[in-house]
């Protein structure tokens, strides 16, 4: 992977606005109750919009890159990337080797009726634990993730996700984290092992703040 300096901030902002509109579209699609003819008409409009976007396409999402303020960011990331409609996007704040993020899941994250799919919770925790490891200086790939589902995770509610690095041994490092309610009830907790690949440079770059 190469890390390059960003050009075209204005275009990137426009791309992030497009991604946010697509999130709105996904939410609207999940909950719409309009008649069939309207569904068909909207599908035709979207088919046209999709073709317009495909008129010029890249091979991969927006990469890791340095923002104009010097911070490292990854706008294409599936969890945090503002340019990726799949991302919440999660805004991760760092405090030493601990990280936190406000999370509000949406109806499109539904798994069991009325609550969030367990894989979605695991994805959020995977990312947060990884950022905690990276914040402690041990950026790596997830080698294992153990998730314990304690209570159903609601969508629509303001929740908190936190994680911290716990220990390291050579290229291996461990982190733990949880998703909890604002009053401190833990809903899901996870532990993970992260390994800095042998192929990575000895000192990975400073992790992104968000």
Ligand X SMILES: CCCCC/C=C\C/C=C\C/C=C\C/C=C\CCCC(=O)SCCNC(=O)CCNC(=O)[C@H](O)C(C)(C)COP(=O)(O)OP(=O)(O)OC[C@H]1O[C@@H](n2cnc3c(N)ncnc32)[C@H](O)[C@@H]1OP(=O)(O)O
Stretch that binds ligand X, among 7-15, 42-50, 52-60, 124-132 (CB under 6 A): 124-132
Distance separating alpha carbons of residues 167 and 6, to the nearest angstrom:
34
- Smallest gap from residue 99 Cβ to ligand X (A): 9
Closest to ligand X by CB, 19 or 90: 90
Is residue 204 near ligand X by the rule CB under 6 A?
yes
Is residue 172 near ligand X by the rule CB under 6 A?
yes
Say how many residues touch ligand X, by CB under 6 A: 23
Instruction: Give the contact letters, 7-46, x = binds to ligand X (CB under 6 A), - = no.
Output: ----------------------------------------
Residue 30 — φ and ψ, nearest 5°?
A: -65, -35
What proportions of the chain, in percent to the nearest 5, are helix, strand and coil? Answer: 30, 30, 40
The string of DSSP letters for 113-174 reads: TTBB-HHHHHHHHHHHHHHHHHHTT---EEEEEEEEE-SPPBSSS-EEEEEEEEEEETTEEE
Residue from 70, 76, 204, 73 nearest 141 by CA: 204
Is residue 60 near ligand X by the rule CB under 6 A?
no
Is residue 87 near ligand X by the rule CB under 6 A?
no
Among 76, 81, 177, 207, binds ligand X (CB under 6 A): 207
Query: Are the C-beta atoms of 71 and 8 separated by less than 8 Å?
Result: no
Stretch that binds ligand X, among 6-14, 20-28, 102-110, 128-136 (CB under 6 A): 128-136
Is residue 131 near ligand X by the rule CB under 6 A?
yes
Partners of residue 5 on adjacent β-strands? 66
Is residue 1 near ligand X by the rule CB under 6 A?
yes
Residue from 82, 47, 46, 91 nearest 61 by CA: 82
Is residue 202 near ligand X by the rule CB under 6 A?
no
Residue 111 is encoded by which pair of tokens? Answer: 């798994």
Is residue 124 near ligand X by the rule CB under 6 A?
no
Distances (CA, A) of 210 to 13, 66, 99: 16, 13, 10
Is residue 122 near ligand X by the rule CB under 6 A?
no
Q: Which residues bind ligand X (CB under 6 A)?
A: 1, 64, 126-127, 130-131, 134, 139, 141-144, 171-172, 193, 195, 197-198, 200-201, 204-205, 207
């Amino acid at each position: 992977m190469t890390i390059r300096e960003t050009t075209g901030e204005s275009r990137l902002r426009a791309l992030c606005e497009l991604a946010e509109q697509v999130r709105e579209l996904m939410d609207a699609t999940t909950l719409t109750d309009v008649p069939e003819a309207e569904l068909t008409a909207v599908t035709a409009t979207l088919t046209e919009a999709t073709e317009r976007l495909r008129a010029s396409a890249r091979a991969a999402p927006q990469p890791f890159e340095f923002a104009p303020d010097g911070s490292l960011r990854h706008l294409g990331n599936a969890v945090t990337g503002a340019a990726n409609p799949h991302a919440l996007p999660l805004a991760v704040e760092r405090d030493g080797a601990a990280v936190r993020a406000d999370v509000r899941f949406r109806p499109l994250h539904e798994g069991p009726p009325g609550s969030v799919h367990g894989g979605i919770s695991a994805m959020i925790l995977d990312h947060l634990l990884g950022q905690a490891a990276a914040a402690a200086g041990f950026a790596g790939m997830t080698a294992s993730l153990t998730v314990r589902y304690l209570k159903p995770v609601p969508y629509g509610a303001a929740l908190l996700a936190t994680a911290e690095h716990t220990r390291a041994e050579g290229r291996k490092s461990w982190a733990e984290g949880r998703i909890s309610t604002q009053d401190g009830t833990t809903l899901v907790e996870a532990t993970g092992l992260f390994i800095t690949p042998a192929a990575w440079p000895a000192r990975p770059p400073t992790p992104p703040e968000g």
